[in-house]
Amino acid sequence: MKDIVIIGAGGFGREVQWLIERINDSSRKDNRWNILGYIDDNVEAGTDMNGYKVLGGVEYLLSTSTLLAVTCAIGESKIREKVIGKLRAQENLYFPNLFDPSVLHSDLIQIGEGNIICAGTIMTVNIQIADFCIVNLDCTIGHDDVLDSFVTIYPSVNVSGCVHVGKCSELGTGTQIIQGKNIGSETIIGAGAVVVKDMPDECTAVGSPCKPIKFHNLDVSPREGGGVIGKIRC
C-alpha cells in the first residue's frame, strides 16, 4: 500500500476520502492507498475527520522527507493553485490522479497529474486534462475537450465536445456548455448556467443564456447590450 494524505479537511476532502476508500475496495492490494490523514491550515492538528486525524498544515508536508502521495481536495481553483505552488518543488511528494471506480472513460485521454475525477462521471475520447483539475459527481466531458490546469467542475455539469476551459476556471453545479465554446481563464460560471457563447477571462457569468455580470479586475459591470470583453469596453 502507498501512503497518501488529503489536503483539505472540509466536505470535499471527506468525499475524496470516500473516493480513495472506494478505490481500495475495488483494487488489488498493491494498488491500494494507506490514508495517513488530512492536511489543513485551518483545522487543529489531531482533529478527527471520519476516522482520520488532521496531521497539521502545509508546513507538515514541507518538513517531511518521506515519499508521500498528496491529493489536493480544495474546491476553489486559485487557492488550490496557491497551495500546490508551495509543494511541487518537494522531490519526495508526488501527485497521483484519482479516478472513482465508477468513472467511464476511453483510453484516448491525455492527463497530467493530481487530478480528481469523482463518481458517475463520463469522459469520452480525445480529451486533454492538464494538472490538478477536479471533476465532481455525475459530470460529462465530451470529445476533444481541453481542461487547463486547476479547473474545477462542480456536480452534474455537461460539457459538450470541442470545449476549452481555461486555467483556474470554475463551472458551477448544473452548468451546460454547448459544443465548441471557450471559457476564459479564472472565470466562474454560476450554477445552472447555459453557455452558448464564448466567455472571456476573469469574469463571473450566470444565467440562461449565460452572460458576464462581473469582471474580477475591473470596477465596471457589463452594460445592457454591450459590456466589457476582456479588458476592452464595447
pLDDT 10s digits, 5-29: 999 999 999 999 999 999 999 977 7
pLDDT at residue 223 tops 50: no
The active-site residue out of 105, 143, 164, 216 is 143
In this prediction, residue 186 carries a pLDDT of 98
As its CATH architecture, domain 99-211 has 3 Solenoid (2.160)
Confidence of residue 203 (pLDDT cuts 50, 70, 90): very high
CA distances from 174 to 51, 53, 75, 171, 193 (A): 31, 33, 16, 8, 7
- DSSP letter for 160, please: -
Residues marked as binding for substrate? 75
Considering the domain 2-96 in this protein, what is its CATH number?
3.40.50.20
Handedness of CA 137, 151, 97, 67 (dihedral sign): negative
User: What is 95-130 written as a DSSP string?
Assistant: ---EE-TT-EE-S-EEE-SS-EE-TT-EE-SSEEE-
In this prediction, residue 146 carries a pLDDT of 99
pLDDT digit string, tens, across residues 63-83? 999 999 999 999 999 999 999
Locate 10 and state its grid cell: 472540509
Q: Where are the domains of the chain?
A: 2-96, 99-211
Report the alpha-carbon distance of residue 132 to residue 7 in Å, rounded: 12
pLDDT at residue 54 tops 80: yes
Residues marked as binding? 75
Active site residue 143: yes
pLDDT digit string, tens, across residues 131-169? 999 999 999 999 999 999 999 999 999 999 999 999 999
